[in-house]
Structure 1
Amino acid sequence: MSSFSPRSVCRPLLLVSLAALGGCASSPGKGPAGSSLNDLYAQVDSASKGYEAALRQAREGNEQASQKTLSAALDQLKRASARCDSTPGCEPQRFYAVFDRLLRLKDGSAIGDEGLETAGETTSPDGGANTGAASLPQAQRSVTLLHGQKLSELIAMNGPVKAALEMWLTQWRPNLMDAWVNYQYMRFEMWPQYEKADLPEAVLFGIMAKESGGKVHAVSRSGAAGPLQFMYATGLRFGLSSDSGFDTRFDPGQSARANAAYLNEQLRVFNDNLELSLAAYNGGEGRMRRLAGDRPEVSFYDPSVYDELSQETRDYVPSVLAAAWLFLHPESYNLRFPKVDGRPGQVTLKRPASISELTVCLGSAGDMSDGWFRTLRNLNPRLNPEEAQPVGATIKLPQPLESAYASRCADGPWPILASDLHHAAVPAPPPARSTPVGDRVYKVRGGDTLISIVRKLRCSSVEEIARTNRLRRHEIRVGQVLKVPDCG
């Protein structure tokens, strides 16, 4: 599981709420003379009513009028918020409560079923509808449902969630941005699995952001693996096993399918309580069932539940919910995710090349300042990034890179440079020590993974075997002979 943990926040989150509206509180003494508290609160109430009016107009199909009314309501709320600290008796919490309510209204709480859009649908150039992976629309920003319930009504804007919001917007912001970019390139594989399971995409993103940041080959110290960090036994239960020596927990699509199945299972157990279901994912379903017992309406924050959980799980649940909330409402928190063209593509190699070599010759194509290594690894999880693939092999990559491959990597100086760097001679390592008494050897069989081998031999650890055999990224192949330290 992720090592991030939100610190406690002992003051209202002015940075998150009011600055997100675009109006920072003014300094004492700078407000208009004679500001009336009642007048100020009347402005807040008026802004709220204006927002509701905008939603009614949108439901009636008058989008232009809705946008005009919405902009006026937000400007009114911004101006009122800036006067709060210069007005005697003004309670900032009242502004935060209205802000949260407006976001929930924006998320569809005031719109009937006729106002719902079909998530994941866009219109094709010929006027037809594109759905699912082929269209790759931007993430739905309006009504998002979980088993018929509005997600906005399931996320409580309480202290822990707001503390996590601040962390994602400050210390964890680089991780959030990396998770967003990584997810956009894998979305065509992951989102359809959640869509089929009738689960919100925002929840998928929240879990992935917290668990791995979208790094497909992430492995935790406890052995959880993949973009959604499945433990070995839990993965097996949901169909994640070995496929010709490849651990399918590292497959983005398969991992998302298994995660959706697990979450739906827990939602059934906990009466569609998202917080308890997420806690089960992190802290163990058995433990959560014992704590919740036969109380279908018990809250995650009920002392009989919350006080018995580990600090990791107490932090995990609000962190996932906060990331999901930002996925839905980035602009309301002064956050702008980068635009990413995640359309899937592929190339057929014109010359042998490894993932590492392709990364060098693609350079910063498409203005990707961090390079394409992570994306190519995520899209080709079965490939050893250091191993050259033969001419004719298919490599998955974002569609916009197809032309970059043709111009930079099929011929010319860049692939030559990449090959020269990749095959550079390095000093030979010292001779491997002979297997001492007490070490064992194990021949890898079909279906084996490092974790299954450790469980089978009941000794050593994944990291110890990987270090002893100088394995890169825990990759093994059928027939390979491994040295296994024996502690007995």
Structure 2
Amino acid sequence: MFSYRLAAALAAPLLLAACAGSPAKTTKADKAAAATAAVDETEIGTLYTRLGEAVKRYEGSADLAAAGERERAAREGNAALDDLRAAALRCQQLPGCEEERFLSAFDGLLRRDAPVTAGGEAEQIRGDDVPEAAGEGSPLVADLPETARSITLLKGRPLADMIAVNEPVKAALEEWLTQYRPNLIQSYVNYQYMRQLMWPEYQKAGLPEALLFGFIAKESGGKVHAVSRSGASGPLQFMYATGLRFGLSTENGFDQRFDPALSARANAAYLNEQLRIFNNDLELVLAAYNGGEGRVGRLAGGGRGRFWDSSVYAALAPETREYVPMVLAAAWLFMHPERYNLTFPKIDTKLGSVVLPRSMSLAELSICFGQEGGSHDGWFRALRNLNPAYDHQAALAPGTRLQVPAVLEAAFPRTCAQGQWQALAAELHAANVPLVASAPSPAARSRAAAGRRSYTVRKGDTLAAIARRHSCTEVREIASLNRLRGPSYAIKPGQTLQIPACPRGS
């Protein structure tokens, strides 16, 4: 399997770089200092002994798991990995210590046919298939989050080598680490619950996960139903025409741009297409995603210019000049949080499902689940992201199966299937707010005076596209007139909409 072979080849060197928390490059001065430093043969020998013992202990944990002693296997395996990590870090600091021995050890463990997971179970690695538990990597890599973040290539090169941490990117790092830190953390949390749906699409396309996170953090914050003023929609903010070009259409009234897995697949296909066009220049590809490939292609001369060239950079829209460094900075922080005093929360992202015993909405489920499992922000966003085809206010039929975090699957019978919290959620959801007509704006009064006209929805239409076609009106105005619920504003072919007529002179 690609990810396992990649992990085996890159895990250890990148692990050591990540653990050190500093750039991997070594200066001549560093080498000279290392050469003159005293070699502590006794400590180095002790580290080699620890290495051998840790490997044997980890291998023994696999035998324990096979014998059914899973809890003991988990303890032994995790303890072995802890000692192996600590010894590897110390070796990296000692002149004369052969880091290659630790690289070989990590490589051997990553290549095992049945490594022990953190939960003590053995897994079988099968050929070059994408793992069935979508998004799960090697158990060893999963236990080494720094390594997992660092094992990332883009067209044969480490992604870190392709990101120039220059002044604009440093400024973007400051933005993420100050006023937008809450947004970054929330983006990470939202992404973790969708990771099993999105990451495999990037993995199959040979693209790094850090880049996917960079897009999500900047584009939508991991909110599946995000819709921009221009009509870009979904977690990766596709315009309708671009989405259609990469397989995102409207099926049974559902705009597939809101589907996490399908949008990740389309985004990966777009990136690979543009990487070929722009000679693997990542910054130009990001600029094209935001500012349009035609404009960027003209400015860059078919990929001969570079994004940071003054002739290209200065000619781009301010939004694009800001967008590219922000995506790169978010990707960089995903790979190297420890270098910036940043800690991403640890989240149990296992998924489960529940079957509704009665008619309920996602909003009701969000209320009755409360802060189950220690979720400070509740479960509304995760439930919406995992079930994008459903309006959160819509009553779902009994028997509807919903995807939920595994912690909620276990809690469902006592919190939402029945009891006081289910009753409370139903009561709150049934509340009716009196409709009070607000004073219309001058523009709205002008359009009302001009009357209304009907429009029949065609296949592929979205409310944003319809609003653009009738240039004097806005999405929310059409939605309000036709009682469409945001943010998805679901419509279907054949549906008749009332459109405010444009007054004369508009």
TM-score (structure 2 length as normaliser): 0.72
* Closer, same or farther: CA 235–72 of 1 in aligned 2, 3 Å: same
Q: Is 1:258 equivalent to 2:266 in the alignment?
A: yes
Q: CA 1:459 to 1:153, structure 2 compared with 1: closer, same or farther past 3 Å?
A: same
Counterpart position of 1:222: 230
Q: 1:70 maps to which residue?
A: 89
Q: 2: CA distance between counterparts of 1:115 and 1:290? A: 49
Displacement of 1:70 in angstroms is 2.6
Distance 1:428 1:311, change over 3 A: closer
Aligned to 1:483: 498
- 1:415 is matched with 422
Q: 1:426: how far off?
A: 2.5
Instruction: Tell me, yes or no, if the aligned pair for 1:435 and 1:483 is still in contact at 8 Å.
Output: no
Q: State the partner residue of 2:216.
A: 208
Find the partner of 1:173 among 170, 181, 185. Answer: 181
1:134 has 2:133 as partner: yes
In the TM superposition, residue 438 of structure 1 has moved relative to its aligned partner by 2.8
* Structure 2 residue 461 is the aligned partner of structure 1 residue 454: no
Q: Deviations over 1:203-231 (max 9, x none)?
A: 00001101110011111111111111111
C-alpha displacement of 1:179: 0.4
Asked if the contact 1:245/1:446 (under 8 Å) is kept, the reply is no
Q: 1:330 to 1:481 in 2, by over 3 A?
A: same
CA contact (8 A) 1:133 1:189 kept: no
Q: Which residue of 2 aligns with 1:4?
A: none
Question: What is the aligned partner in structure 1 of residue 453 from structure 2?
Answer: 440
Q: Deviations over 1:44-69 (max 9, x none)?
A: 9659x99xxx9xx9999988577436
Task: Sort the Cα spacing of 1:122 and 1:302 in 2 relative to 1 into closer, same or farther, 3 A.
Answer: farther
Q: Are the equivalent residues in 1 in contact too, given 2:51–2:84 (CA < 8 A)?
A: no
Name the CA distance, whole Å, in 2 between partners of 1:115 and 1:270: 38
Structure 1 residues 314 and 430, CA gap change in structure 2 (3 angstroms) = closer
Q: Report if the CA contact (8 A) 2:221-2:235 is conserved.
A: yes
Aligned residues: 410
* 2:342 counterpart (313, 326, 335): 335
- Using the alignment, how far apart are the partners of 1:446 and 1:436 within structure 2? 30
Aligned ranges 1:79-478 → 2 under 5 Å = 125-129=121-125, 132=131, 134=133, 136-137=136-137, 138=142, 140-294=148-302, 296=304, 298-430=305-437, 437-455=450-468, 457=470, 460-473=473-486, 474-478=488-492
Unaligned stretches of 5+ residues in structure 2: 1-19, 23-28, 39-43, 56-80
Q: Which amino acid aligns with 2:196?
A: F
TM-score by length of 1: 0.75
Amino acid at match of 1:266: Q
Report the counterpart of residue 78 of structure 2 in structure 1: none
Match of 1:28 in 2: none
State the one-letter code of the partner of 2:178.
Answer: T
Identity across matched positions, percent: 53
CA 1:46–1:469: 2 relative to 1, 3 Å: farther
Residue type at the aligned position of 1:466: A
Matched to 1:366, the amino acid is G
Q: Which amino acid aligns with 1:485?
A: P
* Runs of 5+ consecutive residues of structure 1 not aligned to the other structure: 1-19, 23-40, 77-105
CA distance in structure 1 between the partners assigned to 2:395 and 2:262 by the alignment: 25
CA-to-partner distance for each residue in 1:355-412, whole Å, 9 max, x for gaps?
A: 0100110000011111111111111111111111121111111122101111111111
CA distance in 2: counterparts of 1:43 and 1:445, whole angstroms: 68
Cα distance in 2 for residues equivalent to 1:375 and 1:75: 45
C-alpha separation in 1, matches of 2:337 and 2:273: 30
Higher helix share: 2
Kindly indicate whether the alpha-carbon contact (under 8 Å) linking 1:245 and 1:449 is maintained by their aligned counterparts in 2: no
Inter-partner Cα distance in structure 2 for 1:157 and 1:45? 27
Matching residue's letter, 2:455 = Y
Aligned 8 A contact 2:109 2:115 in 1: no
Cα–Cα, structure 1 residues 71 and 300, in superposed 2: closer, same or farther, change >3 Å? farther
